[in-house]
């Protein structure tokens, strides 16, 4: 018997409100591939696992790494 794990799905609007950013920021992150979505009906939803990544790792990890490296070189 297979076990299914159901994950909470967030709308871009709900995620924007939660993160206190503009909704267009969420759509930009989606377009840039920083936030993965799944297609539900005619729209897109963000899985809870992505919300966890955003809140723990962030969306601009590459930029943060570059800043850390430039500080080390000073």
Task: Give me the residue spans of the domains in the chain.
Answer: 9-72
Report how far residue 34's alpha carbon sits from residue 62's, in angstroms, rounded to the nearest whole number: 11
| Fold exhibited by the domain 9-72 | Multidrug-efflux Transporter Regulator; Chain: A; Domain 2 (1.10.1660)
Query: Whole-model pTM?
Result: 0.69
Above 60 in pLDDT, residue 70?
Answer: no
Of 42, 59, 41, 39, nearest to 50 (Cα)? 59
* Beta-sheet pairing, 9-10 with 38-40: unpaired
Give the pLDDT of residue 60: 66
Query: At 18, is the pLDDT very low, low, confident or very high (cuts 50, 70, 90)?
Result: very high
pLDDT digits (tens, 9 = 90+) for 22-69: 999 999 999 999 999 999 999 999 999 999 998 998 876 544 444 444
Chain-centre distance for alpha carbon 28:
10
């Amino acid at each position: 018997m297979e076990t299914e794990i159901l994950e909470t799905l967030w709308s871009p609007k709900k995620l924007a409100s939660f993160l206190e950013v503009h909704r267009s920021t969420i759509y930009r992150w989606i377009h840039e591939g920083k936030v993965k979505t799944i297609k539900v009906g005619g729209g897109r939803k963000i899985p809870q696992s992505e919300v966890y990544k955003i809140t723990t790792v962030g969306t601009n990890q590459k930029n943060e790494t570059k800043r850390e490296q430039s500080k080390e070189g000073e």
